[in-house]
Structure formats: structure tokens, C-alpha cells
Amino acid sequence: MTNKLILGNAIQEIKKIPDNSIDLIITSPPYNAEKEYEGKNDLEQYKKFAKDWTCDISRILKNSGSLWLNVGYTKTSNKTTLPLTYLYFPLINMPFIQEIVWHYEGGMSYKHRFTHRTERWMWFVKNESLYYFNLDNVRDISLNRTSDKRNNSLGKNPTDYWYFDRVVSGAGKTKEKREHPCQFPEKMIERIEKACSNIGDTILDPFAGSGTIGFVSKKLNRNYILIEKEEKYFQEFNRILKNEI
């Protein structure tokens, strides 16, 4: 089950994963936002989808494992929204460590509410006494803004408010941009993997999209399992991962 790319439905494929075999799950499910890769369901249908894909998370995680779940909001009418943190929190029956705010610039501006420029990371663990948090691996030297001798030479602990630029197409396109419209910045995923996993661990993304979890895991000497139901996205990251040295 290591370094495995799976073209298939996340709900069905997660059920095939052995018990206590995954060290870290990093993912962002569809938001029910009418993107090209998702349909538009009513709220009750989306709740069922959310329950169905999360129900095996605790089973497949090792006792020291973590789930990092990235969510935004879903529209409940033309003008109203539901933050998906409210929907997912009661579904995931594991200890909740922390919420991280991911802030970025760019994107659509709104006319009937304040412009949306954040998403949330929800950090759950299987066992609150055993999970990994490798702080020295993710200290930020740029936060040592004074010469105080009490400062850690590796830098300060990043706060729970993270700024990472979005991975965009068009004029601001970078070399890491792939076809999927919603792509994680690799530096952000590196922080999560360094903090909450170790070399040789197995990391799962059941909604792989652009395959970023695989690219970062390979770079950091972690194993990966990527599940993606859309063939065009799957074929792209499959081709690039296999061709990378």
C-alpha cells in the first residue's frame, strides 16, 4: 500500500485500506461548490457524502496518526453559506488538536458579503497521547526578529495563522501549477508533513486532485497513497510522478 496511485472513488477505496496502516492523512474534499469535478447536491446529500468518506478514518490511522483536513465553505443559497468546519467537526470522532487559518490573496471579490480570503485546516489525531509534532522541523527563523538570547536558534514556532500564496494559473502561474483548479502550495504541505510525520511514514490523500501530497511526500522521503476519481487529473500526476527522478 505504499507509493500507490489509485483511480477510483474515495469512499470505496478507503474501505480497502488495512487497519492501522496510515501515519498521516492530508486532504481537502469537494466543497459542494459546483466546481467542474463535482456535482451540486443539497445539504443533506453532502452531509451523507461527508459521513461516508470519514467513517473509516480512525480505523485506518495508526495510533500515532493525524488527519489534516482542509475545508472552506459551501453555499446554502445565493447569499448564505455554511463553513464546513461546522459540518465536519461532529462527524470525526477523534481528538481535535487545533484549527489553523490559511490566509491567501487573490480570487473572486464578492458584492453581497466580505471577500473570502481564508480556508481552515482541522487537525485531528487518533490518540492525543501519541501523535507526532516535530516542532524543530518547522521552526521559522524569519520570526526571530530580535537578538534576544532566549530565541531558539532554529526560529520560532509558526502561529496558527499561515500565509501561503495560492497556486494560480494565468499571469502568476508557477512551475508547480498543474491542471487541477484547486491546488495546495507545496510549502504549506511540507510544513504539515515535517511536523506530523517522519521519514518512511505513509501519507494518504483520498482526494488527490493535483497530486501535491505525492510530490511533497516523495521529496521528503515519505510514502504516499493517492486516490483520485477524475481520470484527467489522475493521469497528469501519475505521469509526472513516474517520470520524476
**pLDDT confidence of residue 183:** 74
Name the grid cell of 181. 483548479
**Crossing angle between the packed helical segments 186-196 and 212-219, to the nearest 10 degrees:** 60
Cβ-based neighbour number of residue 99 at 10 Å: 12
CA distance to 53, 98, 111, 146, per residue, from 166 (Å):
26, 22, 22, 30
Kindly report the backbone phi and psi dihedral angles of residue 67, in degrees, each rounded to the nearest multiple of 5, phi listed first: -120, 125
The pairing of beta strand 118-125 with beta strand 81-83: unpaired
d(CA 122, CA 89): 8
**pLDDT confidence of residue 39:** 65
d(CA 101, CA 103): 6
d(CA 4, CA 86): 32
- Least Cα distance to 184 among 35, 70, 101 occurs for 70
The pairing of beta strand 4-7 with beta strand 161-163: unpaired
d(CA 6, CA 225): 8
pLDDT tens for the chain, 245 residues: list them.
679 999 999 999 999 999 999 999 999 999 876 666 566 678 999 999 999 999 999 999 999 999 999 999 988 888 888 999 999 999 999 999 999 999 998 777 788 888 889 999 999 999 999 999 999 999 999 999 888 888 999 999 999 999 998 876 655 566 676 666 567 899 999 999 999 999 999 999 999 988 999 999 999 999 999 999 999 999 989 988 887 64
* DSSP state letters, 123-173: EEES-TTT----GGGT-BGGG--S--TTS-TT-BPP-SEEE------GGG-
Structural domains in the chain, CATH included, are 15-140+152-243 (3.40.50.150)
**pLDDT confidence of residue 58:** 98
